[in-house]
Amino acid sequence: MIKLTQLATAVAMVVAANAAMAGEVEVLHWWTAGGEAKSAAELKKIMQSKGHTWKDFAVAGGGGDNAMTVLKSRVVAGNPPAAAQIKGPAIQEWASEGVLANLDSVAKAEKWDSLLPKVVADVMKYKGNYVAAPVNVHRVNWMWANAAVLKKAGVAGAPKTWDEFFAAAEKVKKAGLIPVAHGGQNWQDFTTFESVALGVGGAGFYNDAFVKLDKKALTSATMSKALETFRKVKSYTDAAAPGRDWNLATAMVIQEKAAFQFMGDWAKGEFTAANKVPGKDYICAAAPGTANAFTFNVDSFAMFKLKDAAAQKAQADLAAAIMGTEFQEVFNLNKGSIPVRLNMDMAKFDDCAKLSSKDFVATSKAGGLVPSIAHEMAVPPAVSGAMKDAVSQFWNNDKMSVADGVKSIAKAAATK
Ligand code: GAL
């Protein structure tokens, strides 16, 4: 029979072994708004349940520009976090610097290749090796509406075309409420602009202008029409919009102060956190003219090379957890997005998420699935950054002609 002292020694050894492999993960992200913070907290919980320590490295600022600036200085100083929220083509740029870790052993063990859409898996790989783990699929071309405000203004349901939209906006204005809740920050201007351009020109035009950066499309009459429409949207925003954070704009819709917001479905995380019910309190609808298209924004964590063995183990556990079913469900329920992992059970998700999931599959087959340029999915950061500034210059200056707006956006698109 095993003696009590032997048992105690054995237990102590197991505990020590676990402790030795318990590491710290420092995670850089910009999820500080209500729904976002709740989502990030779920990942922290999962990591803690595996015995690891979570070091939160949150840098506030929607869209992530501030976070990326801070990340650069940390990496240059030779002190990168274990993981950072890095998306799209920027993943390739970081990997080409030789600073990212190879996640192939986790990816193989967890069968990522068969669990991810190929378009997504390709973005997570550099030269065929996984260097990042995806968490979700956000749809950007949404329009959020407060049901009670629409009712008060006499608007029957979400407008489907831009003409219908402006008619609705007029009614809301007459009812003494704010038609469009907007936050005047360059990434929010760009978010609205890409939805307007998609609605005005369709997915083919969007793809030519914002993915291929085709000069003809960028200087076309369709682009002029998109800018005119964009300016008209601005005329329905309030005077306090400049500088406002996106979640405060969402709060205006939640609190029945404003009718509409153009924003990706992280806005739904705010409605959810405020216990609002889609279809009853608020409406999620594709932005006018974009029902057959889907601008995708996949959040992901790139992992940096680390020296310490326990930290490496914690990092591998983080990568595995991110793609696990438990995290994919609970995170996305809070975040407003849908799981990126294929074949997930959507039973607990609301109607907006179910519509997103259906449209993601349908547009990937029919051809309306396009990467969000405003959310760093379509072109390298230097190009999208220059275009974002050009779009905001036009938005902020009502005296700038549409022709000059077109010219300056096309010039920005040619940034090398
Ligand atoms: C996006 C990001 C989302 C959300 C949003 C606002 O770029 O993909 O997850 O956080 O910014 O912060």
**Residue located nearest, by CA, to atom 2 of ligand 1:** 63
**Does the Cβ of 271 fall within 6 Å of ligand 1?**
no
Task: Compute, in angstroms, the gap from residue 82 CA to the centroid of ligand 1.
Answer: 20
Q: Along the 416 residues of the chain, how does pLDDT read in single tens digits?
A: 556 666 666 655 555 555 557 899 999 999 999 999 999 999 999 999 999 999 999 999 999 999 999 999 999 999 999 999 999 999 999 999 999 999 999 999 999 999 999 999 999 999 999 999 999 999 999 999 999 999 999 999 999 999 999 999 999 999 999 999 999 999 999 999 999 999 999 999 999 999 999 999 999 999 999 999 999 999 999 999 999 999 999 999 999 999 999 999 999 999 999 999 999 999 999 999 999 999 999 999 999 999 999 999 999 999 999 999 999 999 999 999 999 999 999 999 999 999 999 999 999 999 999 999 999 999 999 999 999 999 999 999 999 999 999 999 999 999 99
Name residue, tokens 């924004």: 297
What tokens appear for 234 in the block? 């601005």
Task: Compute, in angstroms, the gap from residue 154 CA to the centroid of ligand 1.
Answer: 33
Q: What is the pTM of this model?
A: 0.94
Task: Compute, in angstroms, the gap from residue 87 CA to the centroid of ligand 1.
Answer: 10
> For residues 12 and 391, what is the distance between their CA atoms, to the nearest angstrom?
62
Which three-class secondary structure string do you get for the chain? CCCHHHHHHHHHHHHHHHHHHCCEEEEEECCCCHHHHHHHHHHHHHHHHCCCEEEEEECCCHHHHHHHHHHHHHHHCCCCCCEEECCCHHHHHHHHCCCECCCHHHHHHCCHHHHCCHHHHHHHEECCEECEEECEEEECCEEEEEHHHHHHHCCCCCCCCHHHHHHHHHHHHHCCCEEECCCECHHHHHHHHHHHHHHHHHHHHHHHHHHCCCHHHHCCHHHHHHHHHHHHHHCCECCCCECCCHHHHHHHHHCCCEEEEECCCHHHHHHHHCCCCECCCEEEEECCCCCCCEEEECCEEEEECCCCHHHHHHHHHHHHHHHCHHHHHHHHHHHCCEECCCCCCCCCCCHHHHHHHHHHHHHHHHCCEEECCCCCCCCCHHHHHHHHHHHHHHHHCCCCCHHHHHHHHHHHHCCC
What tokens appear for 325 in the block? 């079913």
Structural domain boundaries in the chain: 4-138+297-355, 139-296+366-413
Ligand 1 atom at minimum distance from 266 CA = 4
Closest CA to 110 of 341, 268, 338: 341
Task: Compute, in angstroms, the gap from residue 249 CA to the centroid of ligand 1.
Answer: 14
> For residues 83 and 103, what is the distance between their CA atoms, to the nearest angstrom?
12
Ligand 1 atom at minimum distance from 337 CA = 9
**Does the Cβ of 187 fall within 6 Å of ligand 1?**
no
Closest CA to 238 of 313, 179, 162: 179
**Does the Cβ of 63 fall within 6 Å of ligand 1?**
yes
Strand partners of residue 55: 26
Q: Backbone phi, then psi, for 384, in 5-degree steps?
A: -65, -35
Q: Classify domain 4-138+297-355 by CATH architecture.
A: 3-Layer(aba) Sandwich (3.40)
**Residue located nearest, by CA, to atom 11 of ligand 1:** 63
**Does the Cβ of 36 fall within 6 Å of ligand 1?**
yes
Give yes or no for a contact between 50 and 321, defined as CB atoms under 8 angstroms apart: yes
What is the structure's pLDDT at 21?
A: 77
Task: Compute, in angstroms, the gap from residue 78 CA to the centroid of ligand 1.
Answer: 26
**Does the Cβ of 138 fall within 6 Å of ligand 1?**
yes
What is the structure's pLDDT at 11?
A: 58
Do 4-138+297-355 and 139-296+366-413 fold alike per CATH? Answer: yes
Name residue, tokens 């083919």: 204
Task: Compute, in angstroms, the gap from residue 403 CA to the centroid of ligand 1.
Answer: 31
**Does the Cβ of 375 fall within 6 Å of ligand 1?**
yes
**Does the Cβ of 80 fall within 6 Å of ligand 1?**
no
Task: Compute, in angstroms, the gap from residue 266 CA to the centroid of ligand 1.
Answer: 7
**Residue located nearest, by CA, to atom 12 of ligand 1:** 62
CATH 3.40.50.970 is right for the domain spanning 139-296+366-413: no
Task: Compute, in angstroms, the gap from residue 298 CA to the centroid of ligand 1.
Answer: 9
